[in-house]
């Protein structure tokens, strides 16, 4: 600095003090700013972030059931009333029936000719009572003194033999009725009946036997 400048500065002390204060303030600002930056940087590096997980609270325990409480039945449950829905009527379907089919008329076959008519009846070759002897009288009926008339019908085959015997009126003694049919089936013989063509045909004959003890 030249002498003239020093003289000028020394001649104006206010300006000199002002410059001095500005210079000192700038230095202080620079120092403070640099130091604060370094302190904040080191603090940030040493800072450790700890994530603390918050524990959930324990579940609440249900209160203990009351002791010696009377058992109250549950209230009756009334079902809701049924709502009846009226179904719509079914649709009416009109069905047109086809015209009936008339089957053709088939003439019936002619009736078969009637069988030949019997013109000659069966005839016994002997009197039916003659086929019964005294030895044929049932012993139980003879011992009891029983007697009676037995009516019967005999069916005659085309060979003249008896094919069946039916009691038409009982004597009242079963042993006499049984003996009558037994004897007629075994002993009676007939001349068979004949039709209009001369062929033998079946026939039936009715008769009776009087069972009576000898005096």
Q: Compute how many other C-beta atoms are within 10 angstroms of the C-beta atom of residue 103.
A: 6
Write out the two tokens for 141: 């009926």
127 falls within a domain: yes
How many structural domains is the chain composed of? 2
149 falls within a domain: yes
Q: Where on the phi/psi map is residue 172: left (φ > 0), alpha (ψ -120 to 50), or beta?
A: left
According to the model, what pLDDT value does residue 99 have? 75
Q: Where on the phi/psi map is residue 24: left (φ > 0), alpha (ψ -120 to 50), or beta?
A: alpha
179 falls within a domain: yes
What CATH number should be reported for the domain holding residue 183? 3.30.2420.10
Number of H helices, E strands in the chain: 4, 8
Quote the CA–CA distance of 43 and 90 in Å, as a whole number. 92
CA-closest candidate to residue 2, choices 10, 23, 16, 17: 10
Residues 39 and 123 both lie in one domain: no
60 falls within a domain: no
22 falls within a domain: yes
57 falls within a domain: no
Q: Compute how many other C-beta atoms are within 10 angstroms of the C-beta atom of residue 104.
A: 5
CB 178 within 8 A of CB 171: no
Spans of the chain below 50 pLDDT: 1-10, 47-50, 52
177 falls within a domain: yes
Burial of 121 (0-12, 13-18, 19+ CB in 10 A): middle
Give residue 188's domain range.
119-211
Q: Please write the tens of the pLDDT for every residue from 142-157.
A: 999 999 999 999 999 9
Quote the CA–CA distance of 147 and 121 in Å, as a whole number. 31
139 falls within a domain: yes
């Amino acid at each position: 600095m030249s002498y003239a400048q020093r003289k000028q500065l020394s001649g104006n002390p206010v300006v000199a003090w002002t410059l001095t204060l500005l210079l000192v303030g700038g230095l202080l600002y620079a120092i403070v700013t640099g130091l604060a930056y370094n302190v904040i940087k080191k603090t940030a590096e040493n800072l450790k972030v700890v994530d603390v997980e918050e524990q959930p609270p324990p579940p609440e325990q249900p209160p203990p059931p009351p002791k010696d409480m009377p058992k109250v039945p549950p209230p009756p449950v009334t079902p809701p009333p049924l709502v009846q829905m009226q179904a719509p009527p079914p649709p009416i379907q009109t069905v047109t029936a086809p015209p009936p089919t008339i089957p053709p008329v088939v003439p019936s076959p002619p009736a078969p000719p009637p069988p030949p008519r019997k013109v000659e009846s069966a005839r016994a070759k002997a009197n039916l009572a003659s086929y019964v002897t005294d030895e044929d009288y049932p012993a139980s009926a003879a011992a009891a003194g029983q007697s009676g008339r037995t009516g019967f019908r005999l069916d005659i085959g085309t060979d003249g033999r008896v094919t069946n015997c039916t009691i038409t009126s009982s004597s009242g003694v079963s042993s006499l009725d049984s003996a009558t049919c037994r004897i007629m089936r075994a002993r009676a013989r007939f001349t068979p009946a004949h039709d209009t063509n001369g062929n033998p045909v079946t026939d039936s004959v009715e008769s009776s036997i009087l069972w009576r003890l000898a005096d």
